[in-house]
């Protein structure tokens, strides 16, 4: 074999090796991301259970004892952001992403229920927004805008708690929530303090869906919220 | 649409080319060429200077040839004034009419190839003929460096290391980096006879072989490329002397650059796709036929495709971003971009392969600097080259492809 042919074959082999290494490295990093999410999810599940148990044990205790819920919600929010990024990278059909998303959705629902119980027991009055989106192609042109607007509203108004749900996720608890809240498959869909609305036009119009004095009275000392952006 | 599938093949091929070139660089033939000593032989050389409206540089150009470190009785200069109208004729007549080593020929404008042929006809006693564009200047040792390339009788031509003359403006600095990259590639490809152009700024030919193959032709305004391809087709070798340096003036405006490169690129397409298509993908022509010419085509197509994809993605992102951020205060949008978490770093196959190929390119640029002993700092030029130049290049690629497709001819200047 001539030197040129040998160089050409070696070059092909090395190029394939470099490309393979890069693909492996990127997949490894993605796996690490998923593992990181899994760890975070497991920890949050334990924390949630702990708060719920604590709440159950101290039915009549001062509400300050369950204030852990605040930091918990912040972590759920962080998990949501990371899950959203992972979903973008690996795809909405990725089995690991779907599994994580189901767990995350369960966490959100539990956090939502906990928030409701806390608000009743402790006379807290958080503004809660349930946001339903769809990842089905062409079914929700405004979901990206709605998700970003909700993130903005949550971060600038910490009293607002946002829970984002993939309407089509195959999860019994989510289906029950959708049935309980009577949410139709029109996207984006919102349930803000129990009131259902559909569609997103502008941020200013969207703000009208919130209680009249909400944006005027918000303080920076309240609870955090969760948001998962739709892809 | 996922554009990655369009980009991946080109990135892979680009990476393959870099790896192949690196292996050739490390191979014995290239190492031998780097170790080649300056020749002690002094065959008779005639330097041909085709000049068309070169008044600002012609005198310095000829003087740089006369100052070459070479026996005076073995070196002559033939200047062919190709119907200049800018005072070139007067400068030549005034300074070189009775010069013992300079022959001045005035002819009706017939194009660069005809001027070169006229000069070669005049240099009857020369074994080697050199061509030097009138806007170029040679270093004193350049001729001695290049002569050693002709120790092998199969070598019909030899090229040199081209550098930009006094690069000061941003566009000149960027082209200087590109020229240094060219030095590396020409050096490496010469070791596998993969050179497809013998550039006008100082290439040397065996006079008898040039005459044997029929002299210079119009070659779609790229007579240097046409001659190199013809020599390759006839089975000759084209060598390179990386330490023989010539400085050339380059376009200083984007418009001028695009015009020059359109001529080069359309010349490549016309010569290779039509006149010398028999060389492409032909194993008989080794690396030139199987790697250099096919990848030259792919580089043009890939350059255009990558540019179009980049523009489409950029527009999509801009529109999407505007759509998403509409109504949200700018202060909030900007604050989002400032947060950093390793989790969110968008590491992708495309990004990493892009980084690997970019590192490869920078490595070749520094190889070019090393093998040719090019002075000066290259880093600012490399950064500008990476950030700006590649966004200008697609314009001449698209223009060239359009010209060739529509059969459009453009004037030289």
Q: For residue A184, what are the domain limits?
A: 3-217
User: Rounded mean pLDDT of B269-293?
Assistant: 94
* Within a domain: A224: no
Give the minimum alpha-carbon distance from A38 to chain B in angstroms, rounded to a whole number: 14
User: Rounded mean pLDDT of A28-55?
Assistant: 78
Give the minimum alpha-carbon distance from B8 to chain A in angstroms, rounded to a whole number: 10
Lowest mean pLDDT among A90-104, B301-315, B360-374: A90-104
Flag whether pLDDT at B336 surpasses 50: yes
Task: Say yes or no for a CB contact (<8 Å) between A19 and B15.
Answer: yes
Flag whether pLDDT at A108 surpasses 80: yes
CA separation, residue B243 to residues A59, B146, B318 (Å): 87, 8, 48
Give the minimum alpha-carbon distance from B177 to chain A in angstroms, rounded to a whole number: 25
Instruction: Using a CB–CB cutoff of 8 Å, tell me whether B291 touches chain A.
Output: yes
Contact (Cβ atoms closer than 8 angstroms) between residue B305 and residue B10: yes
Q: Best of B29, B319, B320, B343 to disrupt the A interface by mutation (most A CBs within 10 Å)? A: B343
Instruction: Using a CB–CB cutoff of 8 Å, tell me whether B290 touches chain A.
Output: yes
Question: What is the pTM (predicted TM-score) of this model?
Answer: 0.82
Residue A58: CATH number of its domain: 3.40.30.10
Task: Enumerate residues 6+ apart whose C-beta is below 8 A from B185.
Answer: B21, B364, B368
* Within a domain: A227: no
User: How much is the ipTM here?
Assistant: 0.86
Portion 176-205 of A in contact with B at CB < 8 A: 202-204
Give the pLDDT confidence score for residue A220 in this predicted structure.
Answer: 38
DSSP state letters, A10-25? HHHHHHHHHHHHHHHH
Q: How many domains does chain A have?
A: 1
What share of chain B in percent tops pLDDT 70?
98
* Within a domain: A135: yes
Instruction: Using a CB–CB cutoff of 8 Å, tell me whether A4 touches chain B.
Output: yes
Task: Say yes or no for a CB contact (<8 Å) between B344 and A18.
Answer: no
Q: Best of A12, A15, A35 to disrupt the B interface by mutation (most B CBs within 10 Å)? A: A15
Instruction: Using a CB–CB cutoff of 8 Å, tell me whether A18 touches chain B.
Output: yes
Contact (Cβ atoms closer than 8 angstroms) between residue B146 and residue B160: yes
Instruction: Using a CB–CB cutoff of 8 Å, tell me whether B238 touches chain A.
Output: no
Please tell me the distance from the alpha carbon of residue B104 to that of residue B218, in angstroms, as a whole number.
22
DSSP state of B328: S
| Angle at CA of residue B218, ends B216 and B222, nearest 5° | 95
* Within a domain: A230: no
- Taking the domains of chain B in order of start, what are their residue ranges? 29-252
DSSP state letters, B269-310? HHIIIIITGGGTT-GGGHHIIIIIHHHHHHHHHHHHHHHHHH
* Within a domain: A222: no
Would you give the end-to-end CA distance of chain B in angstroms?
Answer: 41
Give the pLDDT confidence score for residue A224 in this predicted structure.
Answer: 35
Flag whether pLDDT at B71 surpasses 90: yes
CATH class of B29-252: alpha beta
Instruction: Using a CB–CB cutoff of 8 Å, tell me whether A12 touches chain B.
Output: yes
Supply the angle between the helices B170-190 and B4-26 in degrees, to the nearest 10: 60
From B20, B192, B320, residue closest to A11, measured CB to CB = B20
Please tell me the distance from the alpha carbon of residue A25 to that of residue B374, in angstroms, as a whole number.
37
CA separation, residue B239 to residues A43, B36, B75, B154, B177 (Å): 67, 12, 21, 10, 22
* Within a domain: A226: no
CA separation, residue A52 to residues A57, A72, A77 (Å): 9, 12, 18
Task: Enumerate residues 6+ apart whose C-beta is below 8 A from B77.
Answer: B46, B47, B49, B62, B65, B66, B101, B102, B103
CA separation, residue A219 to residues A36, A157, A160 (Å): 32, 7, 10
Show residues of chain A in contact with B320, CB under 8 Å. 144
């Amino acid at each position: 074999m001539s030197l040129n042919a040998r160089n050409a074959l070696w070059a092909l082999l090395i190029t394939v090796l470099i490309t393979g290494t890069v693909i492996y490295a990127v997949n490894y990093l993605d796996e690490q991301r998923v593992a990181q999410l899994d760890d975070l999810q497991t920890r949050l599940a334990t924390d949630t259970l702990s708060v719920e148990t604590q709440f159950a044990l101290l039915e009549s205790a001062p509400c300050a004892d369950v204030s852990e819920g605040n930091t918990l919600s912040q972590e759920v929010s962080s998990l949501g952001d990371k899950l959203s990024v992972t979903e973008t990278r690996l795809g909405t059909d990725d089995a690991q992403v779907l599994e994580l998303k189901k767990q995350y959705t369960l966490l959100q629902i539990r956090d939502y229920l906990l928030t409701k119980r806390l608000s009743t027991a402790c006379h807290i009055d958080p503004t809660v927004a349930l946001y339903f989106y769809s990842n089905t192609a062409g079914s929700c042109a405004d979901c990206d805008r709605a998700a970003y607007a909700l993130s903005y509203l949550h971060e600038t108004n910490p009293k607002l708690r946002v829970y984002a749900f993939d309407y089509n996720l195959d999860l019994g608890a989510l289906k029950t929530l959708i049935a309980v809240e009577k949410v139709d498959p029109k996207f984006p869909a919102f349930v803000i303090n129990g009131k259902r609305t559909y569609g997103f036009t502008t941020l200013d119009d969207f703000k009208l869906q919130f209680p009249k004095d909400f944006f005027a009275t918000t303080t920076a000392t309240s609870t955090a919220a969760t948001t998962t952006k739709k892809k | 649409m996922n554009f990655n599938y369009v980009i991946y093949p080109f990135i892979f091929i680009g990476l393959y080319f870099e790896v192949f070139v690196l292996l050739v660089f490390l191979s014995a033939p290239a190492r031998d060429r780097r170790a080649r000593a300056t020749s002690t032989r002094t065959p008779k050389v005639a330097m041909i200077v085709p000049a068309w409206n070169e008044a600002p540089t012609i005198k310095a150009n000829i003087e740089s040839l006369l100052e070459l470190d070479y026996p005076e009785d073995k070196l002559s200069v033939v200047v062919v004034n190709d119907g200049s109208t800018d005072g070139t004729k007067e400068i030549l007549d005034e300074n070189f009419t009775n010069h013992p080593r300079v022959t001045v020929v005035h002819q009706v404008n017939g194009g660069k190839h005809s001027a070169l042929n006229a000069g070669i006809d005049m240099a009857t006693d020369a074994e080697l003929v050199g061509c030097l564009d009138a806007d170029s200047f040679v270093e004193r040792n350049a001729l001695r460096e290049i002569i050693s390339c002709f120790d092998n009788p199969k070598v019909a031509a030899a090229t040199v290391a081209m550098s930009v003359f006094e690069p000061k403006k941003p566009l000149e600095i960027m082209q200087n980096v590109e020229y240094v990259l060219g030095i590396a590639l020409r050096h490496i490809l010469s070791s596998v006879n993969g050179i497809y152009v013998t550039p006008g700024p100082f290439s040397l030919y065996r006079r008898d072989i040039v005459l044997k193959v029929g002299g210079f032709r119009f070659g779609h305004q790229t007579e240097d490329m046409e001659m190199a391809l013809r020599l390759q087709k006839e089975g000759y070798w084209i060598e390179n002397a990386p330490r023989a340096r010539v400085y050339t003036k380059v376009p200083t405006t984007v418009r001028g650059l695009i015009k020059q490169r359109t001529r080069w690129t359309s010349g490549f397409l016309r010569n290779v796709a039509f006149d010398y298509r028999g060389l492409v993908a032909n194993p008989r022509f080794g690396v030139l036929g199987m790697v250099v010419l096919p990848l030259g085509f792919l580089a043009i197509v890939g350059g255009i495709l990558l540019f179009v994809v980049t523009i489409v993605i950029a527009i999509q992102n801009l529109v999407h971003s505007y759509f998403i951020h509409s109504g949200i205060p700018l202060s909030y949008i900007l604050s989002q971009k400032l947060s950093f978490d390793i989790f969110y770093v968008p590491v992708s196959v495309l990004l990493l392969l892009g980084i690997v190929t970019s590192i490869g390119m920078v490595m070749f640029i520094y190889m070019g600097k090393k093998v040719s002993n090019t002075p000066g700092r290259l880093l600012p030029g490399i950064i500008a080259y990476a950030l700006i130049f590649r966004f200008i290049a697609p314009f001449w690629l698209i223009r060239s492809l359009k010209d060739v497709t529509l059969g459009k001819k453009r004037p030289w200047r």
